[in-house]
Amino acid sequence: MGFREKVEQGNFVKILETVPPKGTNIESILASLKDFKGSIDAATVVDSPLGIAVMHPLPLSYKIQELGIETVMHFTCRDRNRIEIEAQLLAASALGVKNILALTGDPAKDGKSVFELNSVGLIRFINEINEKYKTDFFVGAGLNINTNPEKEREKANRKIEAGAKFFITQPCFDGDRIKDFDLDVPIISGVLLVSNKKIFEYFSKVSGIVIPESLLEIVDDREKILDYYKKLITDLEKNVSGVCLMPIGNYEIVKELI
């Protein structure tokens, strides 16, 4: 059973976020991911996060799928007009990448952003491509749980109307927080694995992410960190359809959690 079928049938899914390299060497990433075949339902591949250029997510998604691990490819509006969106999605379909997380994207740090479409327009456009070319993209969207719940629900419902079939949230550190978001499609909670002080300090400054200060007190204690995340994931299982583990390169902690 594939990722799409598991999500549609209500199975609790475990997915692993992967960041392409700032360069061309993907061998270490592939070597790390090999160990997760059979224990995760998919790997997400991000698209130049925070507007900083890294390798395009498509070639890495393709190579990961060659390992026998399905992917969810992030796809942003930041760098693409409609022509490029259509061209790249046709390439993705030809290479067997069928799960897309449609995002507006962070503004470019170096260069000019495009933003011909926003996330709602992108979701609608991908579904138009499905009809036009008989492709079969399974389209998801982002959900920011760290903002005004009422406004975010309204935005999420516009994405659902445009054709979004699932959501992956910004990092969540409170299992009850998801209760504020009652939507008609499955929600997969992002879980940012804060395993050292450097990660804590960096992501504490990122918009849309709220890390509890209590984590800083235990971040150097491996057992306490593992217990914290085991409890968080157990709490999330009651309210969501899956978790997206965001290890920031620390795949060893993921092995212990899953």
Q: In order of start, what are the domains of the chain with their CATH numbers?
A: 3-257 (3.20.20.220)
Mean pLDDT taken over the chain: 94
Q: Residue 241 — pLDDT band, cuts 50, 70, 90?
A: very high
Cα maximum dimension of the chain: 53
**Tokens 């490029």 label which residue?**
84
Asked if residues 64 and 45 have their Cβ atoms less than 8 Å apart, the reply is yes
Q: Provide, rounded to the nearest whole percent, the portion of the chain with pLDDT above 70.
A: 100
Tens-place pLDDT, residues 147-174: 889 999 999 999 999 999 999 999 999 8
What is d(CA 149, CA 6) in angstroms, rounded to the nearest whole number? Answer: 27
Contacts of 217 (CB under 8 A, 6+ apart): none
Three-state helix/strand/coil letters over 187-248: EEEEEECCCCHHHHHHHCCCCCCCCCCHHHHHCCCHHHHHHHHHHHHHHHHCCCCEEEEECC
Tens-place pLDDT, residues 170-202: 999 988 888 888 899 999 999 999 988 999 998
pTM: 0.95
Helix 82-94, helix 57-66: angle, nearest 10: 10
